[in-house]
Structure formats: structure tokens, C-alpha cells
Amino acid sequence: MGALFASMLVATALHLAGCTAGESGDNTFSLLSAGKTANKEGAFVLMDTYVSYSLTAGSQQKADDVCLKITEVGDRLENEILSRHVAGSEISFLNEPSADGTKKGISDKLSDYIDSCLTLSRISGGAFDISLGALSDLWGIEEAVKNEGTDYFPPSDEDIQAALEKTGYDKIRSAGSKIALPEGMILDMGAVGKGIFLDEAGKMTKDIKYGIIAAGGSIRTIGYKPGGDPWIIGIKDPTGQSGTIDSVELTGDYVISTSGSYERYVEKDGVRYHHIFDPATGYPAESGLSSVTVVMDAEYGNGLLSDALSTAIFVLGKEKGLELASEYDAGVILVTDDGEIIRSGLN
Ligand code: AMP
Ligand code: MG
């Protein structure tokens, strides 16, 4: 991936410039000691997962301020906009049945997020689809995970076909910031919530020199590690047998998203049912992949995009997934059900 390689080169060049400026000691340390820094680490719960962060700024006050801002931005996103489980959020408002089918007004932000999702739905041939809420509810995987699989029964094929009737991104009618869903349709932003959070949090981090924010399977890097080393993002072994099976080294501002069938699933009578659905069948996607990691430059909007792409590629499988990744100049690491690791667009 050209862009990734270019930024790594830029980072190296800056690093060397720091040394030739006459600072003493070992390269990496001298760069950091050139300015006063303060680090802030912490974690909070967001969208049913943990957000953990490590952020280094020029002063403790700046580091503290950024942490407060990213916590607040996450809270607002979940409760005021994205969660379909919070009454009063914009998505809940959209999901409420409307008697006459008239369009409802939503914020420009949500309108932009939905537009980006619909564009990816079209480009991925429908593999990515935020209109699958009725299907997610029917399968109830999240609920089953919370109950540790107790008394879980997969839905009948008849019920799956009936839920599928209530899905379909191409049935959503929108004009500007007004939108109408067909009867029974439920929007589910679960595939992009963490990526959107990273985009919004990223707008608050101009005072951060080096940092990392990890929201469930989505991560944003800023610069490099305090100390000068690249960030190393481990790729989890989908089988759980070993901790990590691969890694990606990043220096610069990136977003990384992973979708995996091992993340949320329930087993019944020896069959695993996971949380990523194939909109064409209504069943958990079986594309031969068990994990998909997408790496992109952290430009505005790429948190959403990398999060959505990892889900889309998981559904599409290896060949079509690699094509889609290259259309977006995204780096990917795919792990197949047989344990093969495929890297593309990364150094
Ligand atoms: P992720 O872990 O980012 O791949 O997102 C998975 C979540 O996205 C699921 O828990 C569902 O809420 C939702 N989802 C499942 N299948 C799809 C799909 N094909 N397109 C969009 N969202 C999906
Ligand atoms: Mg995703």
C-alpha cells in the first residue's frame, strides 16, 4: 500500500532529522526528551465493548482534556445518535414505525454516516448492509453471548426468510437529511459504531503527539510509540489456540479494524453461529474467512470505512474481498478457515 509505505518513510525521515539536529543520546530517546510530555492511559465502556487509550501530549492538562473529550464524544455518539437500544437516540427514532411512511429529519452527522454506509452497500454488491436489524434481532447472537448460550435456539428458515423481507439498503428512501425506512426495517449501525467513534475522537487529538485508541476491534494510532518504536498491532488467532498469529507495524496515523467470526458467537449442537450475516442468505456468513483486518490512513471518514470494509470483506470472502480492499487502497490481513494468512497492500 503506497500511502502506508510513504508515511513510514516520512516518519523515519523526521526521526533522523531529530538526530541530526544535534540531540544527544540514543535516537529515539533524544527525540522525546526534546519536549516535555505527559501520558494519560485509561479505559471506559462504550457500545458494549471496552475503549482503552494511551495518549501523550505536551502537558498533563492537555492529555487530561483530550481524554475527557473522547469519553464525552463516545457517550454522545452512542446515546444520542447510534444506539438502537437507547430510547431517544436518532437511530431509535428512525427505527420507530411511522404510520404514513413520511421521511424523518435527522442530524447532518447521522445523514453523512448513513450515506457512507449506503455507498459501501452499493460498491460491495450488498455484502455490507446496515438495514439488517430485523435479522440481527431474530438471530439474537448478542443476547445469546450475554447468556453464555444458555437455552439458545437458532431461528427457523421460515422466520429467517420473513426477516429478510424487512431488510435491503436499496429500499431506504433518503433526500438530504430526511430519511424513511420501509415498514419493519431496523437500522443496525453495529458494524461501524467503533469506527465512527475513532473518526470523531480523532478530531479531538490535535494536541496528542503519540497515542493509540482501541475500541473493541477498531484501533487508531497517532504518531509512534513514546520511545520512537512503531505501534505493533497483533492479529488474534481466530481459533484461540495461540494469542496472536500475525502483526502489523505502523508509524503514523492509521485506523485498523478487525471483523472475526470468533468475536461474538454461540454454539448449538456442534454448530457455531456468529454475528456477521450474509445479506443474501440471512445466515451467518460462510465465506471461508474467519478474520479480516483492514488498515487505512486515518483521514476523515476512514474509521467508518475501515470498520465497514472489514465486515464487507468478511462476507465477500477472499477473492472479491481483496478486490474491494484494493479499490480503497486499503491494506488487509485475511485469515482463512484453514488457517492460511493472506496479506495484501501492506509492507
Ligand atoms: P463487525 O464486528 O464490525 O464486523 O460488525 C458486526 C456487527 O455488524 C454485527 O454484530 C451486526 O450488528 C452488524 N452486521 C452483521 N452483518 C452485517 C452486514 N453484512 N453488514 C452490515 N452490518 C452487519
Ligand atoms: Mg466492522
120, 236, 256, 276: residue to mutate for ligand 1 pocket, most atoms within 8 A of CB: 276
CA 65 to chain centre: 24
End-to-end CA distance of the chain: 7
Name the pairing type of β-strands 265-268 and 271-274: antiparallel
Q: Is 310 in the pocket of ligand 1 (CB under 6 A)?
A: yes
Q: Whose CA is nearest to atom 7 of ligand 1?
A: 191
**How far apart (Å, rounded) are the C-alpha atoms in residues 164 and 55?**
43
Confidence of residue 16 (pLDDT cuts 50, 70, 90): very low
Q: Would you state the pLDDT for residue 13? A: 25
Residue with cell 533522523: 16
Of 214, 203, 247, 255, which is closest to residue 229 (Cα–Cα)?
A: 247
**Average pLDDT of the chain, as a whole number:** 88
CA of 20 to the centre of ligand 2 (A): 42
Do residues 313 and 128 make contact, with C-beta atoms less than 8 angstroms apart?
A: no
- How does 173-195 read in b/e, with b if 16+ C-beta sit within 10 Å? eeeebebbbeeebbbbbbbbbbb
Q: Is 191 in the pocket of ligand 1 (CB under 6 A)?
A: yes
Please give, one letter per residue, the 3-state secondary structure of the chain.
CHHHHHHHHHHHHHHHHHHHCCCCCCHHHHHHHCCCCEEEEEEEEECCEEEEEEEEECCHHHHHHHHHHHHHHHHHHHHHHHCCCCCCCHHHHHHCCCCCCCCEECCHHHHHHHHHHHHHHHHCCCCCCCCEHHHHHHHCHHHHHHCCCCCCCCCCHHHHHHHHCCCCHHHCEEECCEEECCCCCECCCCCCHHHHHHHHHHCCCCCEEEEEEEECCEEEEECCCCCCCCEEEEEECCCCCCCEEEEEEECCCEEEEEEECCCCEEEECCEEEECCECCCCCCECCCCEEEEEEEEECCCCHHHHHHHHHHHHHHHCHHHHHHHHHHCCCEEEEEECCCCEEEECCC
Cell of 7: 508515511
95, 132, 316: residue to mutate for ligand 1 pocket, most atoms within 8 A of CB: 132
What number of CA atoms fall less than 13 Å from residue 31's CA on the CB side? 21
pLDDT at 71 over 90: yes
CA of 30 to the centre of ligand 2 (A): 39
Q: Whose CA is nearest to atom 8 of ligand 1?
A: 191
**How far apart (Å, rounded) are the C-alpha atoms in residues 263 and 240?**
10
Residue 163 backbone dihedrals phi, psi, to 5 degrees: -70, -35
128, 164, 275: residue to mutate for ligand 1 pocket, most atoms within 8 A of CB: 275
* Residue range 77-109, pLDDT digits in tens: 999 999 999 999 999 999 998 877 888 999 999
Q: Is 135 in the pocket of ligand 1 (CB under 6 A)?
A: no
Q: Is 211 in the pocket of ligand 1 (CB under 6 A)?
A: no
* Residue range 289-342, pLDDT digits in tens: 999 999 999 987 799 999 999 999 999 999 999 999 999 999 999 999 999 999
CA of 111 to the centre of ligand 1 (A): 19
123, 129, 277, 294: residue to mutate for ligand 1 pocket, most atoms within 8 A of CB: 277
* Residue range 150-181, pLDDT digits in tens: 889 999 999 999 999 999 999 999 888 999 99
Q: Whose CA is nearest to atom 15 of ligand 1?
A: 276
Ligand minimally distant from the alpha carbon of residue 309: 2
* Residue range 187-232, pLDDT digits in tens: 999 999 999 999 999 999 999 999 999 999 999 999 999 888 999 9
CA of 62 to the centre of ligand 2 (A): 31
